[in-house]
Amino acid sequence: MILDYVAPRTLAEACALGREPGTVFLAGGTDVLVWGADGRRRLGRVVSLRGLPELRERRWREDGSLYLGAGTTHDEVASDPEIQKQYPVLAEGCRSVGSWSIRVAGTLGGNVCTAAPSADSAGPLLVYGAELELTDGESRWSLPLVDFYMGAGKTVLQPGQIVLGFHLPNPGYHGAAFVKLGRRRAMEIALVSATALVKLDDADACRDLHLALGTAAPTPMLVEGAAEMAAGRLFDEGLVNQIAQAAAAQARPRIGSFRCDPDYRRRMVAVTAGRAVTAAWDRAQDEGRVS
Ligand SMILES: Cc1cc2nc3c(=O)[nH]c(=O)nc-3n(C[C@H](O)[C@H](O)[C@H](O)COP(=O)(O)OP(=O)(O)OC[C@H]3O[C@@H](n4cnc5c(N)ncnc54)[C@H](O)[C@@H]3O)c2cc1C
């Protein structure tokens, strides 16, 4: 039950309301309203961010980078032809969220701020090196997404602080893949997901590789050392296996999860990571050379 619903018209007003105890921001409401309905959270005062134009901005810069407002819905990301071209795996991640009715309401900002380890947009945003634009109503600052997460459901956000949007650098030519493992193919929260981005040179040797994991640890995470392992190397299954094993070794699967046991999850981290790297490399061979 919602006791009080407020729809501020300015950022300053929203942030001031957000500083009051017992307040929760609402964007698409696909997480907040579920928490309210199943009693996980008492929704004392809900402050809607939906009327704030700053969260709806979308700007392409001349250098090919993109600023995407936090209020952009998953469906808007997934169906934008320019985003599909420049950040294909972000479109893929957003397309895999829930169902159409969830994707037209749920936002990129909400997906990141909920800080679920399974958030489908998080891996793609991590491999593209996204930075968040934040405000407390008075000042603005940016922060790499990788530094935003503090734990499952926990972020660095203080009461009254809002994520305005995401800065996405131009990735240049690359191949990328998002692999999500669930019990079903639709309407499923990831048991494990892996997102890989690969850049190759003219000789097909690896110039850059980023690998992110979902539901492998309390927060979405980047696999450390993956780029170094692959640097200058040609594709081979042994290398993919080495990277997949490193991913599994870095995973910290939750103990006592009702979805699956930690040993299975760790093994599936290796499987999904290997598949994501292989698919990304394959795509990079078609389109990802950097001279
Ligand atoms: C049936 C169903 C299926 C789902 N399937 C998936 C799935 O497959 N994959 C997946 O990743 N998720 C899934 N979800 C979860 C959910 O849809 C996503 O996390 C969604 O992106 C949340 O966005 P929202 O705009 O609805 O957030 P809200 O529910 O409005 O907000 C979520 C949290 O973020 C905070 N918040 C929102 N925007 C901001 C902002 N700009 N600044 C600061 N704080 C903010 C809110 O205060 C709240 O704490 C599913 C949910 C349902 C109900």
Tens digit of pLDDT for each residue in 127-166? Answer: 999 999 999 999 999 999 999 999 999 999 999 999 999 9
CB 211 within 8 A of CB 276: yes
Q: Give 97-128 pLDDT, tens digit per residue.
A: 999 999 999 999 999 999 999 999 999 999 99
Domain ranges of the chain: 2-48, 53-168, 175-287
CB 112 within 8 A of CB 132: yes
Q: What one-character DSSP code corresponds to residue 151?
A: E
**169: CA distance to ligand 1 center in Å?**
24
CATH topology of domain 53-168: 3.30.465
Q: What one-character DSSP code corresponds to residue 259?
A: S
Atom of ligand 1 nearest to the CA of 34: 53
Q: Give 188-240 pLDDT, tens digit per residue.
A: 677 899 999 999 999 999 999 999 999 999 999 999 999 999 999 999 999 99
Residue 182 near ligand 1, beta carbon < 6 Å? no
CATH second-level architecture of 2-48?
A: 2-Layer Sandwich (3.30)
**260: CA distance to ligand 1 center in Å?**
22
**203: CA distance to ligand 1 center in Å?**
42
Share of the chain residues as helix, strand and coil, in percent rounded to the nearest 5: 35, 25, 40
Residue 30 near ligand 1, beta carbon < 6 Å? yes
Burial of 174 (0-12, 13-18, 19+ CB in 10 A): buried
* CA 8 to the chain's CA centroid: 27
CATH of domain 175-287: 3.30.390.50
Which is it for the CA torsion 129, 228, 206, 218, positive or negative?
A: negative
**pLDDT-based confidence at 43, cuts 50/70/90?**
confident
